[in-house]
Amino acid sequence: MNFLKKYLWLISLCIGGFGTLFIWFCLPRQSQIDEWWWLVVKFAVFAFAIIGISFFPNKLRASHLLCCLPFIPFLCYIIPRLSFSGIFGTIQDPVQQGEFYTVLYLLCYPLIMMSIAFAHRMGGGKPGQSIKICLIGITLIFSGLLDLCFNTANGRPLAESLDYAYHIIIIFGRSLTWKEGLIFALCHIPLIVLFIWLPLDKWFEKIGLTEKRTEEKNEWSM
């Protein structure tokens, strides 16, 4: 248990890193989800990355400077790729469309969530709290909130059906109407409340992954 307690963050980050390489080089880069196991692999890799970040040692000198590391992939790859597609219109190419989708949803949004969780951890946040940040973020994007707002955010009328929400289509086997999508999104509210309520840090203390800390409790700590 002492070994796991000491190196859980490193083991998880290594698995998450190699898993990311597998997704990037071995899975199709497209918005459609043709196979269930694609989602399983992506969720598993994301889970290991979250665990690695949430248990990352935060007693290092100048640990706050580590929060600057996400700037590098953003500035060196993600933003240049997205900017190129937006400026030169390569999104019209089906291959480039798949690349655009992969960079935006498999790199950009997850990295935003993990950067926030990492910053919280480096600021002294508990592992369970950092995990909750990512759980809420991933629940929101899979709730269909983005798909519901897609047309209105771009000044277009409401879509009759969410035929571009492939993560929902693979669950129901068809496109949902806008009203059905709204109900589907609202059904995720209890799940988010559950994540907020879960006493993850107490569980980690009980199984010996973290040490008990005596600190002032506030109304937001769970």
Overall domain count for the chain:
1
Helix count (H) and strand count (E) of the chain? 12, 0
- Domain membership flag for residue 120: yes
Amino acid at 51: I
Show the domain range for 108: 2-143+188-206
Q: Average of pLDDT values for 140-153? A: 89
Q: What distance, in Å, lies between the first and last C-alpha atoms of the chain?
A: 24
- Domain membership flag for residue 154: no
- Domain membership flag for residue 111: yes
How far apart are the C-alpha atoms of 199 and 144, rounded to whole Å? 27
- Domain membership flag for residue 211: no
- Domain membership flag for residue 156: no
Residue 156 above 90 pLDDT?
no
- Domain membership flag for residue 221: no
Angle at 78 between CA 77 and CA 83, to 5 degrees: 100
Asked whether 160 and 140 are in contact (CB, 8 A), the reply is no
- Domain membership flag for residue 133: yes
How far apart are the C-alpha atoms of 179 and 25, rounded to whole Å? 37
Q: How many CB atoms lie within 10 A of CB 121?
A: 25
Q: What is the pLDDT of residues 92-145, one digit of tens each?
A: 777 778 888 888 888 999 999 999 999 999 999 999 999 999 999 999 999 999
How far apart are the C-alpha atoms of 100 and 90, rounded to whole Å? 9
Q: What is the pLDDT of residues 162-199, one digit of tens each?
A: 988 888 998 899 999 999 999 999 999 999 999 999 99
Residue 222 above 50 pLDDT?
no
- Domain membership flag for residue 167: no
